[in-house]
Amino acid sequence: MYRPERASVIIPTFRRQELLRNLLTSLSKQQTRYPFEVIAVNDAPEENLSSLETEFSDISLKVINLSEDHGRSIARNTGFRNCTGDILIFLDDDMTVVETFIEHHMNSHTDPSIAVIGNLHADPEFASDPLHRYLERQGVKKRRPGETIPPKCFATGNASVSREMFEKAGMFDETWRTYGEDMDLGMRMHYKGATFAFAEGAVSYNHGATDLDDFLARMREMGRYTLPIFAKKYPEITRGLWLHLAEPVAFGRENPLLTFKKAGLRIVLTPPFYALARGIYRMKWLGSLLFPIIEFIRMYNYIGAYRQSLKDPRQGESSAPE
């Protein structure tokens, strides 16, 4: 039986020193039988965070200050190259974790091929906000009981993987410059034989406040730059994102039902319906009843941006990996 012995917690950070300090404080309170180290990779060259090593020496903190802003993929790979654990736990710098966080991640690794997705919650301060409640219910939490977890759910805000599987999959793609580097890694791990598990007890809280405009800006970036890459590299995931319905209608050259669905989506995803949805979203008191409205607003933005990339492929390649 596979028995991992040591964990390495890898945290890319960028201009969030106080949030990072809160995360490190929560890691210093871990109740676990497993030894662990923490690698914080600082991607803001104007800041030097080395003093945190003394402040958090009890968790074997190592700070790596990069000489320039490289992005999340290079930061995480740099953390990996400087760690010693046989299980890699990835966290974002705006998280805090429960006291049994590491224990639950480590206990989930009964085989080196397992990639573990943690249980991400919104900050209790934002618990009543419909958008934050919607976001914490996405990904792995949308699956039905007993349903296989797809690799697209692998999100490195709270996730872990064995050193063996991480190396086998080729680590993070360091040419990646937009959102989706973790989903890309998840797909490559899947092709190398990884299975995905949900560690419900590995709870983290996201303290980064998100408003609708910020969220939709990320959706447009994803639609314009990330999804065209995924559609080419991993066409099997396009249906789950409805991308096949965003492609041009081919009258007479495709299934009539597909043509009908494409036409229907074009009618629904139009400015009048979008304006109506934005108006309804202002009724925050509707709570979880707004989730379908948020889903529609989200689709309108990422599918609209994806369509633009289809019209001008060079636009989708301008800041994305080859």
For the residues of 124-151, what is the DSSP string, one character each?
GGGTT-HHHHHHTTSGGGGSPTTPPPPG
Measured CA to CA, the distance from residue 27 to residue 58 in angstroms comes to 10
pLDDT tens string 149-188? 999 999 999 999 999 999 999 999 998 878 889 999 999 9
What pLDDT band is residue 314 in, cutting at 50, 70 and 90? low
Side-chain-facing half-sphere of 158: CA atoms under 13 Å: 29
Please give the pLDDT value at position 242.
78
Assess whether pLDDT exceeds 80 at residue 312: no
Residue 313's pLDDT is: 59
Structural contact between residues 227 and 302, judged by C-beta atoms closer than 8 angstroms = yes
Beta strands in 137-280 (DSSP E): 158-162, 195-206
Mean of pLDDT over the chain: 90
For the chain, give the percent of residues with pLDDT over 70.
97
pLDDT, tens only, 46-95: 888 899 999 999 999 999 999 887 889 999 999 999 999 999 999 999 99
pLDDT tier, 236 (very low <50, low <70, confident <90, very high otherwise): confident
Tokens 């899947």 found at? 190
- Give the per-residue pLDDT at 102: 97
Check pLDDT > 80 for residue 250.
no
Q: CA triplet 122, 128, 132: central angle to 5 degrees?
A: 40
Listed in order, the ranges of the chain carrying CATH 3.90.550.10 are 7-206
Specify the residue for token string 């993987």: 161
Quick one: pLDDT at residue 319?
45
Decide which of 123 and 40 is more confident: 40
4-13, 22-31, 57-66, 259-268: least confident range: 259-268
Q: Could you tell me the two tokens for 143? A: 């699956």
**Among 180, 155, 148, 170, residue whose Cα is nearest residue 89:** 155
- Checking if the pLDDT of 267 tops 70, the result is yes
* pLDDT (tens digit per residue) in 218-229: 999 999 999 998
Amino acid symbol at 179: Y
Give residue 275's pLDDT band: very low, low, confident or very high (50, 70, 90): very high
Q: Which residues of 269-305 are buried (b: 16+ CB within 10 A; e: fewer)?
A: beeeebeebeebbeeeeeeeebeebbebbbbbbbbbb
Q: What mean pLDDT do residues 236-248 have?
A: 79
**Residue 117, strand partner residues:** 159, 198
Is pLDDT above 50 for 320? no
Enter the CATH code of domain 7-206: 3.90.550.10
